Amino acid sequence: MGNDHDHANPVTPTDGDGRRPARILVTGAAGFIGSHLCDHLLSRGDRVWGLDSFDSFYPPEIKRQNIAPALRHPSMRLVEGDLRDGVLLDGLLSDIAFDAVVHLAARPGVRPSIDDPNLCFDVNVTGTLSLLEAMRRRGPRRLLFGSSSSVYGERKDAPFVEDTAGDRPISPYAASKRTGEMLCYTFHHLYDLSVLSLRFFTVFGPRQRPDLAIHKFARLMANGEPLPLYGDGSSARDYTYVDDIVNGITRGLEWVERESRDAPVYDVVNLGRSDPVTLSDLVARLARALEIEPAVHHLPEQPGDVSLTCASDAKARDLIGYAPEVGLDEGLRRFASWFWERTPRPEKVAAGG
Ligand code: NAD
């Protein structure tokens, strides 16, 4: 980092498709979604800088494996550091004339945020503010913010549409994401930043965070352990395959680039599938994909967990041309094949049986 001085030469030649390769900063680049995004941006010819602190929320070695393929690409740079370090951000944003920032770094997870709300707010709110402040001082003027379906809180009026108030989050994590969105709007209003907030709905696929249900359940099934199912199994989630999320982020980058040419823009869109699946159904379909018979262990509902998420994807389709393609069963098949490449199959379970 620090010696490219790309401000001196902000215009690069167009690639084969006539599109000028962009310079993108991805925060949280070594994480689940961030690493897939880096791979995709590099594959379409962009130059990518990743910022990641390799925090201890889950083992940093997993994050190093996530980002390893991107790091083999000559157009990838990794900056190891903390989002809350304003001096680091000022240096990075001064040295490189980024076209846009995709902000994915966060302390994720509903339950961990209940255990440690201060840490959640420190990273998700103070960290986001630190990035916004650095962008105000140094540029660039275009930001995509990784928000969450959890901002909708406990609702029955599915599908969730973006213009609902979102003022009753039921966990510190949800409150931190809603606060992040609001800070983005404030900086749009005060300093002409163009921002698109993307509300991701339960993302899954290869490299999924080990704390999330599909990955956690797969691990337990492979170990022959029962799955802890919170509630009666009727809670439902709108599961979204990671490639579709990456496609939505890419469309969002194109939208913000196009629409902010004359005046700054701000908007919020859901990235989901509008197809919620109950927890019981998810377990059955995951078991089929993994070819394992699961044992389940019912536990009381967890505070902070909403009973339903369901995106309206109409606005994302209309505004940015988002078009999710991978259904739950196909996504689970792809996840299962990734999972079995790195996990020994249990002896008693015959493949295919
Ligand atoms: P992840 O934990 O795999 O990735 C986040 C990355 O941010 C990690 O690599 C971590 O090391 C890094 N990070 C954490 N604190 C940092 C800091 N202070 N400075 C720099 N880097 C830091 O999570 P993910 O599942 O890939 O989620 C990415 C984003 O999408 C997060 O903002 C998350 O809240 C949001 N989101 C995810 C989901 C989902 O289902 N995975 C759903 C809704 C929203």
Q: Which helix (H) or strand (E) is 258 found in, with range?
A: helix 242-259
Look up the domain containing 135 and give its range: 4-203+241-272
Residue 327 lies in a domain: no
- The C-alpha atoms of residue 114 and residue 136 are separated, in whole angstroms, by 32
Q: Is residue 158 within 8 Å of residue 212, measured between CB atoms?
A: no
Q: What's the CATH number where 74 sits?
A: 3.40.50.720
- The C-alpha atoms of residue 129 and residue 145 are separated, in whole angstroms, by 12
Give the sign of the dihedral formed by CA 30, CA 35, CA 38, CA 39.
positive
- The C-alpha atoms of residue 303 and residue 9 are separated, in whole angstroms, by 52
Residue 154 lies in a domain: yes
- The C-alpha atoms of residue 247 and residue 253 are separated, in whole angstroms, by 10
Mutate to test the pocket of ligand 1, among 52, 216, 271 (most ligand atoms within 8 A of CB): 52
- For residue 332, which of 295, 290, 299 has the smallest C-alpha distance? 290
- The C-alpha atoms of residue 332 and residue 264 are separated, in whole angstroms, by 39
Whether 173 is catalytic: yes
User: From residue 68, how far is each of 33, 93, 269, 270 by CA, in Å?
Assistant: 14, 24, 30, 29
What angle is formed at CA 33 by the lines to CA 159 and CA 275, rounded to 5 degrees?
20
Ligand 1 in reach of 214 Cβ (< 6 A): no
What's the CA-to-centroid distance between 103 and ligand 1, angstroms? 9
pLDDT tens by residue, the chain, 353 residues: 333 334 433 334 455 566 789 999 999 999 999 999 999 999 999 999 999 999 999 999 999 999 999 999 999 999 999 999 999 999 999 999 999 999 999 999 999 999 999 999 999 999 999 999 999 999 999 999 999 999 999 998 999 999 988 899 999 999 999 999 999 999 999 999 999 999 999 999 999 999 999 999 999 999 999 999 998 999 999 999 999 999 999 999 999 999 999 999 999 999 999 999 999 999 999 999 999 999 999 899 888 889 999 999 999 999 999 999 999 999 999 999 999 999 998 875 444 43
Mutate to test the pocket of ligand 1, among 209, 216, 268, 335 (most ligand atoms within 8 A of CB): 209
Total domains present in the chain: 1
C-alpha 24, offset from chain centre:
16
User: Closest ligand 1 atom to the C-alpha of 149?
Assistant: 43
Residue 42 lies in a domain: yes
Q: Provide DSSP, 31-72.
A: SHHHHHHHHHHHHTT-EEEEEE---TTS-HHHHHHHHHHHHT
What's the CA-to-centroid distance between 13 and ligand 1, angstroms? 32
Ligand 1 in reach of 55 Cβ (< 6 A): yes
Residue 199 lies in a domain: yes
Residue 136 lies in a domain: yes
Residue 53 lies in a domain: yes
Residue 119 lies in a domain: yes
User: From residue 93, how far is each of 19, 23, 28, 99, 201 by CA, in Å?
Assistant: 23, 11, 16, 11, 30
Residue 324 lies in a domain: no
User: Closest ligand 1 atom to the C-alpha of 52?
Assistant: 21
What's the CA-to-centroid distance between 205 and ligand 1, angstroms? 15
What's the CA-to-centroid distance between 351 and ligand 1, angstroms? 34
Model pLDDT, residue 149: 97
Ligand 1 in reach of 113 Cβ (< 6 A): no
What's the CA-to-centroid distance between 109 and ligand 1, angstroms? 9
Please pick, among 173, 239, 241, 266, the residue that the annotation labels catalytic: 173
Ligand 1: which residue has its CA nearest to atom 41? 203
Ligand 1 in reach of 286 Cβ (< 6 A): no
Ligand 1 in reach of 181 Cβ (< 6 A): no
